[in-house]
Structure 1
């Protein structure tokens, strides 16, 4: 999990970003550390022009695994910037975190300015506090996540680290966003031989042969995520359990939901559903009752909400 120490980020004045004339410090104010992970640290922040609350992700150049070039930029930048820029240029999606700006800091790396819902909590903490989610709520979250991933894939990006810590819940609206594209890559049809995601969300083919394809990896991780939501914990902890690909349900879960999870967690990658198959599954066609939805939403508004604690 992430280190939630309260420390300050004080960027230097010598900064540069695409089409940005004013330095970072004259446009944004940095606050306390929200969390840190393998690809950087995330701080609270505020845009000075209008007071907008943002998240500021700092990435040290030494920790960047993949570099790429943006049009109009001479020097390469972290792949994460290129991927988020690509998604932003096509209009973005409500279920995907939006990058508002980025800067390069002399001697310190890169700063990504990201949107941040005011009342939000990552799905890991959400489940930790509340336990296994009712299927209606899990369905509400899962549908949004799958739809957002369809958008991401349609625009040539694969996330490669779908997990509860990388899903942020707006606790007022129950809308969710996918965050942290630090493990992402351009989408391709041929297999990948590098994986920088989370081991317990990785599929059998990666564990056994260090190779996987984008969609089948994504769908496997969605199966793990859905199990996590309805059972309160992930199905596999060790490699031996992953390659068995046999989830054991620890709570009462409907047959339809179990069916979808098992389909996503098929041992053979080619037997897993597509994202479109998932959306047309019988469990996904369930309709939330308005009264229960409003009751759930009202209950959540009264609870204390923490900011997202994972690297965005």
Structure 2
């Protein structure tokens, strides 16, 4: 599903032509240090290319992100000039020690008039979680689901501890190694700085949107992240998004699902509480009994 933060772009041909102009116009810029490769993805956000770093042959992904009409720049410690918001958020989460390997690493970046360019690590082999699940007819074993969810939750907690709200945790924004099930959280284009007060606007994907935004027009960062993790877990184990009737049963406390462990069912109930004050805390999720058989 598309993210609401993705502006409507021009045609694919127009995007390709714009990208070519950028390459031709900046022969000595950041792009000249990488060998040109195929398109990995494109949309309203811009274009992502595969590239190889000339100095050592490192495989990377290069994202040319189209600037929205009201481009947001923010200041962060260690950088004298304001940075594009997405770049700044990635720098904040990447600067954590020890490094969080479940979050994509920003290797280099450059600001341009209409685009900003980001050079990102490109783990190989990898695909996004949505494509990966299509190989398993939309679901995964509970053990596999637990391994994936541990990593995504760990990445979400690290974002929060770095003062970052990702706000678009979904299958398409999670890269997975199909051989090892190692994951990485990507695409901070819908993100923001995490704040204690409520947000009164939503950027992200509708299916993962917290219900309090629909009913009250506002939400808080960490409880909204907990909700999106609950939606993600539900979709991983059942292959579809939770519908209104399913959410009502889950919140009633009488929910039972054959074939699903008692601990997994309890965690889903803790995550998908319609009342945000009743949801499990983000930092408490990995202490839940469902994760106890996994070691970090």
Q: TM-score range by the shorter chain?
A: 0.7 to 0.9
Partner of 1:12: 23
Counterpart selection for 1:197 from 189, 192, 204 = 204
Offset at residue 135 of structure 1 (A): 0.4
Q: Scaled by the length of structure 2, what TM-score is found?
A: 0.84
Partner of 1:77: 83
Aligned CA RMSD, in angstroms, stands at 2.8
The 5 Å alignment of 1:257-268 reads 257-268=264-275
**Once structures 1 and 2 are overlaid, which stretch shifts more, 24-33 or 61-70?**
61-70
Partner of 1:103: 110
Q: Quick check: 1:169–1:177 contact (8 Å CA) kept in 2?
A: yes
**Does the alignment pair 1:234 with 2:247?**
no
Offset at residue 78 of structure 1 (A): 2.2
For 1:239-277, what per-residue CA distance to the aligned partner results, in whole angstroms no more than 9, with x for missing partners?
Answer: x56985848888732222111111100011011011232
User: Alpha carbons of 1:142 and 1:217: their partners in 2 closer, same or farther (altered >3 Å)?
Assistant: same
Partner of 1:144: 151
Task: Give the Cα separation in 1 of the matches to 2:264 and 2:154.
Answer: 18
Task: Give the Cα separation in 2 of the matches to 1:30 and 1:273.
Answer: 46
Unaligned runs of 5+ residues in structure 2 are 3-11
User: Alpha carbons of 1:228 and 1:99: their partners in 2 closer, same or farther (altered >3 Å)?
Assistant: same
Q: Quick check: 1:124–1:164 contact (8 Å CA) kept in 2?
A: yes
What is the number of residues matched between the two proteins?
Answer: 277
Offset at residue 125 of structure 1 (A): 0.9
Offset at residue 278 of structure 1 (A): 1.4
Q: Quick check: 1:14–1:105 contact (8 Å CA) kept in 2?
A: no
Offset at residue 173 of structure 1 (A): 2.2
User: Alpha carbons of 1:207 and 1:251: their partners in 2 closer, same or farther (altered >3 Å)?
Assistant: farther
Q: Quick check: 2:195–2:221 contact (8 Å CA) kept in 1?
A: yes
The 5 Å alignment of 1:15-94 reads 23-62=29-68, 66-69=72-75, 71-72=78-79, 74=81, 76-91=82-97, 92-94=99-101
**Does the alignment pair 1:186 with 2:197?**
no
Task: Give the Cα separation in 2 of the matches to 1:124 and 1:163.
Answer: 9
Q: Scaled by the length of structure 1, what TM-score is found?
A: 0.80
For 1:32-91, what per-residue CA distance to the aligned partner results, in whole angstroms no more than 9, with x for missing partners?
Answer: 2211244332121111111111111111123565322355454x4321000111122334
Partner of 1:158: 165
Task: Give the Cα separation in 1 of the matches to 2:127 and 2:69.
Answer: 26
Task: Give the Cα separation in 2 of the matches to 1:123 and 1:273.
Answer: 24
User: Alpha carbons of 1:26 and 1:40: their partners in 2 closer, same or farther (altered >3 Å)?
Assistant: closer
**Higher relative contact order, chain-length normalized (CA < 8 Å, sep 6+):** 1
**Once structures 1 and 2 are overlaid, which stretch shifts more, 170-179 or 55-64?**
55-64
Task: Give the Cα separation in 1 of the matches to 2:60 and 2:70.
Answer: 22
Q: Quick check: 1:39–1:63 contact (8 Å CA) kept in 2?
A: no
Offset at residue 148 of structure 1 (A): 1.5
Q: Secondary structure at the match of 1:235?
A: coil
Task: Give the Cα separation in 1 of the matches to 2:245 and 2:286.
Answer: 27
Offset at residue 197 of structure 1 (A): 0.5
Q: Quick check: 2:247–2:272 contact (8 Å CA) kept in 1?
A: no
